[in-house]
Amino acid sequence: MIPRLVRNVSLSASLVYVLTIVHHIYGAIAFDTPWRYHAAFVGVAGIAATLLLTRFSTSWGPSVLRQTTMAVLAAVTIIVAVGLVGVFEGAYNHAIKLLLFFGGAAPETMHRLFPPPTYEMPSDVLFEVTGVLQFVAGLIAARATVALWRGRRG
């Protein structure tokens, strides 16, 4: 049961990171903002860390190693994949921005909450959809991580 739960965390966190890579590379090209490429490196590092932690969490090594790496996998997933990417990047930078924009928020409010050039007002469907999908994937990763934590304790 635990290896399946670890695999679910690994797959869902990796999905978050893959979406981050695609989203930021596309944004860098579409908006001619090369500084967005940095997030692709974060995504690659996230995938590498996730795979490494998954390997040690499910290995035949000492129990303390498996338990420790499982806890680190859960922590990294919650902090980076769920918190930084899912909540901040996906929810705030895209979902909330879209709700406010299409909900008729004043331009001054939008520029105060989402100042250019860091933020783009909605003008590209693929960019916004991949941005919001990071939030959806973050929710999936959160659910998988909670299931792992409960399964580990039970």
User: pTM, whole model, 2 decimals?
Assistant: 0.93
Are 70 and 152 contacting, i.e. CB atoms less than 8 angstroms apart?
Answer: yes
pLDDT in tens, the chain (154 residues): 688 999 999 999 999 999 999 999 999 999 999 999 999 999 999 999 999 999 999 887 788 988 999 999 999 999 999 999 999 999 999 999 999 999 999 999 999 999 988 899 999 999 999 999 999 999 999 999 999 999 876 5
- How far apart, in Å, are the Cα atoms of 93 and each of 22, 90, 114, 117, 144? 16, 6, 8, 13, 23
